[in-house]
């Protein structure tokens, strides 16, 4: 988020307060706070009035607030009016716009996703369209957040996009009416045989209801096929979390009513609050797998930890992020907000979810010190299975996430897969019924990247190039032996790079096929990716073997 200007009065409210009263501290603590606030105010006033150069008063106070908060954890932040509005959009899953997701690819801004039922979908905007102008704003050279702000606006207002579509000479203008866009937190839901798969990307106000509705719809679809749903996969990978009470409600869809899900503890030793499920479960007895990875955080970890410790399901994937700090949102004047860490999350057995992330300085170090040794302890689930502290949720079965190779990462960084898919979509109205011929696809792709001037360099090649330049700059390059050695190394590295490209041909062909598919049908492309996902394959294998599933939960 970009830091924006707000009235100095907002900042002064934070510094001076309205009526400073100690909540439970001693008089000496109260005096210390009052003294330091007075000192801070005097410094601010003195610099503002007498510094040799004129200063921006609001920016100067922003620096002071940010400096104070930086001594704490990175989740305690001050938000101005616009940033507070963005926070509201994240928790509600609702905003006024046209229903697209945009991204910067190779220096240009493209539409990378179009939400169903939105103005963008009705106007036939598509994945791969390049945004040239929004109303009178030329997009080139603008930050991505700026472009997003141009597109958003009051519901019912008009916005005009100038779009460049691959293969068409003339730009097209689309005038759309902004409307309230609701993003379903259950992004994908499918049946794999009789196993229901549900992918959640957030925990907003309506997430529990959306998941409950998706489960009911999937059960109904399974009954129509005379094959009732027999198990559930809840995919929380890359889900950054959200609202605490929603995490409890989501857990309540799977566990018996009244089950403890999480507890929070603040500064006061007597401040512990325990959260229990209050709803009747939707699928209390169906076998369950929860998928997590290193980007599953906060509410995702609450759900995964509770499911694991209540022995309600099997957790598969990588250790989660380890974000177990509770933020309270404090409203301030002028529509500003202070997002303040006020407590920590603990699983039902007492594991601290928060992981030490290498923060340095001040309270950040103190925050974890008291729990560091405790988190190395062994904890026990309801069935007396061992689970371990250390921050985050350690899955019952580790399945490491697939990582991009250097070659594929380089192709994606330059937008080669995306841009080729644009080219294919422009030349074809639909995908071939028999599927794509990967051999001919790769031949055409190789011609495309060559025409686009793409050149792949391995890390050793980049390093050798730097060494060669250094020798030239230092004028230490010998005319004979070093020349020969460098030429030999360059030749060998080129051969190794060519072999790497050749060895990855099948992987790139699959990635290219899925990217092309995404330009025609985002849901079909996502399903193709999920079907080949190692963690999903492992989950399906366990859920289809009742003996293995029971053995994991009842060792």
pLDDT in tens, 426-476: 999 999 988 899 999 999 999 999 999 998 887 777 777 777 777 665 555
**pLDDT bracket for residue 499 (50, 70, 90):** confident
Average pLDDT taken over every residue of the chain: 87
pLDDT in tens, 115-139: 999 999 999 999 999 999 999 999 9
Contact call for residues 262 and 306 (beta carbons, < 8 A): yes
d(CA 531, CA 226): 23
The b/e string for 281-307 (b: 16+ C-beta within 10 A; e otherwise) is bbbeebbbbbbbbbebbbbbbbbbbbb
Work out the average pLDDT over 270-290. Answer: 94
Of residues 147, 137, 109, the one with CA closest to residue 2: 147
Lowest mean pLDDT among 7-16, 294-303, 319-328, 447-456: 7-16
What is the domain partition of the chain in residue ranges?
8-69, 94-182, 186-401, 406-532
Q: What values do phi and psi take at 444, rounded to 5?
A: -70, -35
User: Does residue 404 have a pLDDT over 60?
Assistant: yes
Longest CA span, the chain: 81
d(CA 412, CA 370): 43
CATH second-level architecture of 94-182?
A: Roll (2.30)
Query: What six digits make up the tokens of 2?
Result: 């970009």
d(CA 466, CA 446): 28
Question: CA angle at residue 62 from 59 to 63, to 5 degrees?
Answer: 90
pLDDT in tens, 301-321: 999 999 999 999 999 999 999
Q: What is the pLDDT of residue 330?
A: 86
**pLDDT bracket for residue 90 (50, 70, 90):** low
CATH second-level architecture of 186-401?
A: Alpha-Beta Complex (3.90)
User: Does residue 20 have a pLDDT over 90?
Assistant: no
Lowest mean pLDDT among 12-21, 45-54, 497-506: 12-21
Prediction pTM value:
0.83
Q: What is the pLDDT of residue 19?
A: 42
């Amino acid at each position: 988020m970009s830091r924006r200007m707000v009235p100095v009065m907002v900042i002064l409210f934070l510094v001076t307060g309205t009526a400073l009263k100690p909540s439970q501290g001693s008089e000496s603590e109260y005096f210390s706070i009052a003294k330091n606030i007075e000192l801070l105010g005097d410094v601010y006033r003195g610099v503002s009035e007498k510094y040799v150069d004129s200063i921006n008063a609001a920016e100067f106070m922003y620096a002071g607030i940010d400096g104070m908060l930086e001594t704490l954890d990175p989740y305690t932040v001050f938000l101005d009016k616009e940033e507070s509005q963005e926070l509201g959009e994240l928790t509600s899953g609702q905003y006024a716009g046209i229903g697209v997701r945009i991204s910067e690819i190779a220096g240009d801004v493209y539409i990378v996703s179009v939400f169903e039922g939105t103005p963008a979908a009705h106007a036939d905007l598509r994945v791969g369209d390049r945004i040239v102008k929004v109303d009178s704003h030329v997009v080139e050279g603008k930050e991505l957040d700026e472009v997003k702000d141009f597109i958003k606006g009051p519901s019912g207002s008009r916005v005009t996009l100038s779009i460049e579509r691959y293969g068409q000479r003339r730009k097209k203008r689309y005038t759309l009416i902004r409307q309230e866009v609701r993003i379903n937190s259950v992004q994908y839901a499918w049946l794999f045989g009789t196993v229901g798969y549900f992918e959640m990307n957030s925990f907003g106000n309506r997430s529990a209801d959306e998941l409950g509705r998706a489960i009911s719809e999937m059960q109904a679809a399974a009954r129509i096929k005379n094959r009732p749903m027999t198990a559930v996969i809840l995919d929380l990978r890359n889900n950054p979390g959200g609202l605490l009470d929603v995490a409890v409600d989501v857990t309540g869809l799977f566990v018996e009513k009244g089950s403890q899900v999480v507890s929070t503890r603040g500064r006061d030793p007597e401040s512990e609050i325990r959260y229990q499920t209050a709803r009747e479960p939707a699928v209390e007895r169906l076998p369950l797998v929860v998928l997590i990875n290193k980007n599953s955080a906060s509410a995702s970890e609450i759900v995964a930890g509770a499911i694991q410790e209540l022995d309600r399901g099997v957790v598969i994937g990588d250790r989660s992020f380890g974000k177990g700090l509770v933020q309270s949102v404090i409203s301030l004047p002028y529509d500003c907000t202070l997002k303040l860490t006020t407590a920590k999350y603990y699983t039902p057995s007492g594991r601290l979810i928060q992981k030490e992330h290498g923060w340095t300085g001040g309270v950040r170090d103190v925050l974890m010190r008291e729990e560091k040794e405790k988190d190395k302890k062994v904890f026990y689930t309801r069935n007396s299975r061992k689970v371990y502290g250390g921050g985050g949720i350690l899955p019952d079965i580790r399945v490491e996430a697939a990582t991009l190779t250097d070659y594929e990462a380089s192709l994606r960084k330059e937008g080669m897969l995306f841009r080729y898919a644009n080219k294919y979509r422009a030349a074809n109205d639909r995908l071939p019924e028999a599927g794509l011929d990967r051999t001919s696809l790769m031949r055409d792709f190789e011609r495309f990247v060559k025409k686009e001037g793409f050149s792949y360099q391995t890390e050793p090649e980049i390093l050798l190039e730097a060494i060669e330049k250094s020798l030239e700059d230092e004028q230490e390059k010998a005319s004979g032996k070093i020349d020969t050695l460098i030429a030999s190394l360059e030749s060998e590295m080129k051969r190794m790079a060519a072999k790497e490209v050749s060895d990855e041909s099948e992987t790139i062909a699959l990635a290219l096929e899925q990217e092309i598919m995404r330009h025609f049908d985002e849901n079909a492309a996502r399903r193709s990716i999920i079907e080949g996902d190692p963690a999903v394959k492992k989950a399906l294998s366990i859920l289809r073997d009742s003996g293995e599933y029971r053995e994991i939960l009842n060792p």
